[in-house]
Chain A
């Protein structure tokens, strides 16, 4: 069964702290996507990771991909309240061009 597991599913943290969200997947893939969703809103693309060892950074968010371990991480540095949202990872299996497999999402609450 194709599975994408995010950990943790819920995270409450203080502003200024660092934390990491993990995304493990069960299928062979070299394409992983991170999205952000605000409450009641649509999904916004954050990162597209296309190869083993890929690292991308945008502001206080940094994403990385280890295809051998089938693991991606989303690291938050010095969190601010505006980063409060639900974060999803999604994986494109090697034998597919269209059907992403989605994680359940990590709900992140950052307290002032």
Chain B
């Protein structure tokens, strides 16, 4: 079945550590996104990528990094520079929204907790 797979679902990070969240999609979508959601809040865009080897910062990119070496994959690294990383992280993908209003599809999410 087509979809978006995020891993791990739960992750604990120690202070000063970098951690990487995986996101893989087999929907053949060009665009991929990372969002952060804090408890009881809406979604905030961290990074997005429209095409392989290219990505743009979203609203809260500081302390995060991404890569897009393959169309199917868009991993997110939460660096030690991100001082308050505890949140729910959602990966998503889509065709360009200009194409008949294609919607964004979301993965199941990853919970990151700092210990």
Contact = CB atoms under 8 A, between A and B. Distances in A.
Asked whether A and B interact, the reply is yes
Interface of A: 31, 33, 41-45, 48, 50, 88, 90, 92, 96-100, 102-105, 107
Interface in B95-115: 96-98, 100-109
B80 to A, nearest CB: 27
A13 to B, nearest CB: 19
Q: Which of A43, A96, A98 has the most CB of B within 10 A?
A: A98
Interface string B84-96: 0000001000101
Does more than half of chain A's interface fall in helix, strand or loop, or is it mixed?
A: loop
B96 A97 contact: yes
Counting chain B residues whose Cβ lies within 8 A of the other chain, the interface size class is 20 to 34
Interface string B42-85: 11110010100000001000000000000000000000000000
Given A99-B45, A99-B58, A103-B42, A92 B107 contact: no
Interface of B: 31, 33, 40-45, 48, 50, 58, 90, 94, 96-98, 100-109
Nearest to B44: A102
B51 to A, nearest CB: 11
A101 B45 CA distance: 9
A31 B58 contact: no
A99 B100 contact: no
